[in-house]
Amino acid sequence: GAVVSQHPSRVICKSGTSVKIECRSLDFQATTMFWYRQFPKQSLMLMATSNEGSKATYEQGVEKDKFLINHASLTLSTLTVTSAHPEDSSFYICSARGPQGRGNTIYFGEGSWLTVV
């Protein structure tokens, strides 16, 4: 079964509104999670590192005020796209390193499609 789960899998929102995407680690704690975005037929681009209990670390060129990341618990990180615009439409994916018992593998969520209309 899924080790990292995202919700919602698809969301449509109106331009100017905000939308929240959740990323949960199942059955294990993740002090660090990662958020990626992926445009059609392109590779994953790392957006930010989500740190439990502290501020996220954003990659160069990613607007921290637009992509709010909150990692309030050891199993949940949220990405909020604020004042969304059509150009924010993309596939958003999170990841976390699994527990030692699962080979220390990095697991990815199922992804969340965001469409801004």
Partner 1 sequence: LAKTTQPISMDSYEGQEVNITCSHNNIATNDYITWYQQFPSQGPRFIIQGYKTKVTNEVASLFIPADRKSSTLSLPRVSLSDTAVYYCLVALRGNTGKLIFGQGTTLQVKP
Q: Is 27 in the site for partner 1 (CB under 8 A)?
A: no
Q: Are 110 and 95 in contact (CB under 8 A)?
A: no
Least distance in Å: CB of 14 to partner 1?
22
Helix (H) or strand (E) holding 35: strand 32-38
Q: Are 22 and 71 in contact (CB under 8 A)?
A: no
Please choose, out of 13-21, 26-34, 63-71, 76-84, the segment that lies near partner 1 by the rule CB under 8 A. 26-34
> Which residues lie near partner 1 (CB under 8 A)?
4, 6, 32-34, 36, 43-46, 49, 91, 93, 95-97, 103-111, 113
